[in-house]
Amino acid sequence: MSSAKPQSEIVLSLQGISKQYGAVQALNNVSLECRAGEVHAVVGENGSGKSTLLGVASGFVDQDQGTVHIGGQPLTHDSPALARSLGVGMAYQEVSLVLSLSVKENLYLATPKSQRPAYGRMKDWAIDILARYELDDLFADAPTGWLTLGERQLLEVVKALLSDPKVLLLDEPTTALGPNQVDWLHRTILECATRNIGVIYVSHRLPEVLSVTDRVTVLRDGQSQGTHEAAGMSEPQLVELMTGRPFDATFPPRLTHSGDESDVLIINDLQGGLCGPISLNVARGEIVGIAGVAGNGQGDFFGCLAGRIPPKRGIVLCEGEHVDLTSPIGALRSGIMLLAGDRKGEALFTVLGVRSNATIQVLGRFSRMGWLNRQLERESVAKVVERLKVRTPSLEQPVQFLSGGNQQKVALGRTFLRENVKVILADEPTQGVDVRSRFDIYEALRSKAAEGTAILVKSSDPIELAGFCDRVIVMSRGQIIKEIPKADLSERNIIEAIVGDVNKRSKLLSMSIAEQAEAKSQLD
């Protein structure tokens, strides 16, 4: 946490902010103050008003009531340019980079004109900027569209800092970041605090919030539930303030299996991409977690099972039948369904409505002789929307206007509309999702397991894997290196298995070739 003191200068003051969209009261008399050198979190469920509050602070949204002061100066009207000139830096959740331009050009455009270098020095200047922020591995000449989502998010933060802001606004900055990138972000935030920059940090990841912030303002249904010292709060207390109900359990209870527990999915020596060879059996109604350091074949494992990466070898059986993994259609026909991790880029057609997105893979179920039965389609989707607690004004609402949690529920709804789903591959099912939606998603997946569906959950969150899964396998270099049964499942055991393997591999690098060969044979 930073060393902000109560007497520090107030760099951002929001007083009595109210904002209404039609019949929806997004914010109702919300007040917040951020001091110089303070890291101030804003938390709440999706739809609680966090993004609207940041929109008001950054000049993008004109409030109906209330005042905004930045560094003691009033923000007199909704103008992002005026907010920036007064001292606001904003890193957006939806990255604002120009993907067709290079890294150096995006940095150049984000810098105030008075501070830009000569055009011919742009590359050397950009290299110095990237080195200053420990991002030397990003190439200044690289097209920004070539960067990963995580790298774009880091660049978005650097871009926001180029104007030397008095207050930095971070809207869900860790959604697309891996563990090392999250560490980079937190180091950068704490370094901002030492430079007396105030930081507003919006995040669904409550452990991060409590570890890196000084104070926390909680929003619920557009109203403030107070501002609290982070050091005196716990995760259950925050969840209760956010949801308005007692914190009973983060995860739904595990199933008590009875009856048929035969293997639904049998994987034998599957190899493809960076995955394999892998052998694994998954029983009816079982939830198996997939853990490991990012880039160790977990994604390619799901890609092979979903028919997106043609396997080099191996056999996969689903309920005793051979699965054709040469295409996604073959996997779907066998009952294997992927819930993609990049919901906006891969899972959803964001400009289409809830109904169209939910039924796009199963239109044949609602058609007869080429005619689509719209009433039957709407009735079926409405039942799924109610079951998954999707918050939407209508079934025709474009999903791009829904919160991240509700978007994920729409994608998950396809598994309830498709009739032959036997295996669900859930890739980061709760990434960037608020507390209540996360629990709803867990409940939905658990209900599918209760129906006999086998579920594989790939997640970078060891707490999620330990609390939700029946067992967890840990992957490294494309192979399973450890299986943790239900009786031994804990966050600590999962992390120790991952870190222990990394340490063993790192130790190999310091050995001679002969020592490496001997140690590697024992390790494998």
The terminus-to-terminus CA distance of the chain in angstroms comes to 41
| Residue 407 belongs to some domain of the structure | yes
The sign of the CA dihedral 302, 308, 313, 319 is positive
Query: Which of 212, 243, 274 represents a domain boundary (last residue)?
Result: 243
Model pLDDT, residue 420: 87
Distance CA 20, CA 27 (A): 7
How distant is the alpha carbon of residue 137 from its chain centre? 23
Farthest-apart Cα atoms in the chain, separation = 74
Neighbours of 465 (CB within 10 A): 26
Mark whether 376 and 430 lie in a shared domain.
yes
| Residue 57 belongs to some domain of the structure | yes
Mark whether 93 and 230 lie in a shared domain.
yes
Distance CA 104, CA 114 (A): 17
What angle is formed at CA 36 by the lines to CA 32 and CA 39, rounded to 5 degrees?
A: 65
Mark whether 400 and 468 lie in a shared domain.
yes
Contacts of 469 (CB under 8 A, 6+ apart): 287, 288, 289, 457, 489
Position 345: which residue type? G
What angle is formed at CA 289 by the lines to CA 286 and CA 295, rounded to 5 degrees?
A: 150
Mark whether 268 and 188 lie in a shared domain.
no
Nearest alpha carbon to residue 454 among 249, 251, 267, 252: 267
- Extended beta strands in 172-211, E state: 198-202
What is the helix (H) or strand (E) element at residue 494, kind and residue range? helix 491-509
Total domains in the fold of the chain:
2
Nearest alpha carbon to residue 66 among 224, 235, 185: 224
What is the helix (H) or strand (E) element at residue 68, kind and residue range? strand 65-70
| CA 219 vs CA 10, 206, 487: distances in Å | 21, 14, 37
The rounded radius of gyration (Å) of the Cα atoms in the chain is: 25
Which CATH number is 322's domain given? Answer: 3.40.50.300
User: Per the omega criterion (within 30 degrees of 0), is the bond before 277 cis?
Assistant: yes
Mark whether 203 and 274 lie in a shared domain.
no
Residue carrying structure tokens 């052998």:
279
Model pLDDT, residue 203: 85
Q: What averages of pLDDT result for each successive group of 10 residues across the chain (524 residues)?
A: 65 94 85 94 84 91 93 90 92 80 92 88 93 91 88 91 93 79 90 93 85 92 91 85 69 71 92 91 94 87 93 94 93 93 84 92 86 91 93 90 87 91 93 80 93 93 88 92 91 83 53 53 52
| Residue 114 belongs to some domain of the structure | yes
| Residue 258 belongs to some domain of the structure | no
What is the helix (H) or strand (E) element at residue 105, kind and residue range? helix 103-110
| Residue 519 belongs to some domain of the structure | no
Mark whether 88 and 162 lie in a shared domain.
yes
Model pLDDT, residue 104: 93
Residue carrying structure tokens 């019949």:
23
Strand, coil or helix: 343: helix
Q: 289's torsion region: left (phi>0), alpha (psi -120 to 50) or beta?
A: beta
| Residue 257 belongs to some domain of the structure | no
Mark whether 82 and 230 lie in a shared domain.
yes
Mark whether 206 and 268 lie in a shared domain.
no
Mark whether 295 and 380 lie in a shared domain.
yes
| CA 105 vs CA 18, 79, 126, 127, 153: distances in Å | 38, 24, 9, 12, 16
| Residue 253 belongs to some domain of the structure | no
Model pLDDT, residue 512: 52
Position 524: which residue type? D
Residue carrying structure tokens 């960076």:
274
Distance CA 86, CA 106 (A): 22
Q: Which two tokens stand for residue 467?
A: 């609390």
- Extended beta strands in 189-319, E state: 198-202, 215-220, 223-229, 263-272, 275-283, 287-291, 313-318
Distance CA 337, CA 422 (A): 8
Note whether 412 and 24 are within 8 A (CB): no
Tens-place pLDDT, residues 77-125: 888 889 999 999 998 876 678 888 999 999 999 888 888 899 889 999 9
Mark whether 312 and 388 lie in a shared domain.
yes
How distant is the alpha carbon of residue 100 from its chain centre? 24
Mark whether 405 and 490 lie in a shared domain.
yes
| Residue 374 belongs to some domain of the structure | yes
Mark whether 205 and 172 lie in a shared domain.
yes
Model pLDDT, residue 113: 87
Q: What is the DSSP letter of 164?
A: -
Range of the domain at 286: 263-497
